[in-house]
Amino acid sequence: MLWQTNLPLIAILRGVKPDEVLGHIAAVINAGFDTVEIPLNSPQWEQSIPVVVKAFGSQALIGAGTVLKPEQVDMLAEMGCRLIVTPNIHSEVIRKAVSYGMTVCPGCATATEAFTALEAGAQSLKIFPASAFGPDYIKALKAVLPSDVPVFAVGGVTPDNLSQWIKAGCIGAGLGSDLYRAGQSVENTARQATLFVSAYREAVQ
């Protein structure tokens, strides 16, 4: 399958607070992003996510990250989330999210984990932490995965090295601390988002 958004880059805003979340997400969307993840270890995510879904749900795929439990998926479905990202493989979490019609991008590191996720219904995979394995590892893993499964590199991806992950076979990447760090200005988020969009476009030319 193909990734369903126009730009296969996931903006990860870990640590964002409810009173600042709209400004930062507007910044990444204005730069060209159309997939946003708010991790559940962010302050008061229960407030941030519904606000973001209401404001930007028609413009972007809005979801949650660090989703660990099936009951969290139920809560997120009620909030209108359409994307579930996990750091690990939890088959029940994946199946529940799929049952709600959500896009699921679970974190995996090995072929066994990848195929377990796909058997549970995951439509995409994130290799995490990507920087610990390197592009050559992802290239080797891609060789045994179904060719139509979108694979994202997450962890250590920067504008300078994004092209390495694309060349290794990733459709895109999840972008965390090199895009957004808790407490940074909206202007900094906008600047980093623009750098990532430019780096992606150059990588796929």
Catalytic sites, residue numbers: 37, 126
Tokens of 70: 């099936």
155 DSSP 8-state letter: S
Q: Which helix (H) or strand (E) holds 187?
A: helix 186-203
> Do residues 146 and 118 touch, judged by C-beta distance below 8 A?
yes
C-alpha atoms less than 13 angstroms from C-alpha of 130 in its C-beta half-sphere: 28
131 DSSP 8-state letter: H
Query: Rounded to whole angstroms, how far apart are CA atoms 16 and 20?
Result: 7
Q: Please list, in sequence order, all residues whose beta carbon lies within 8 angstroms of the beta carbon of residue 201, skipping any fewer than 6 positions away.
A: none
> Phi and psi of 144, rounded to 5°?
-105, -5
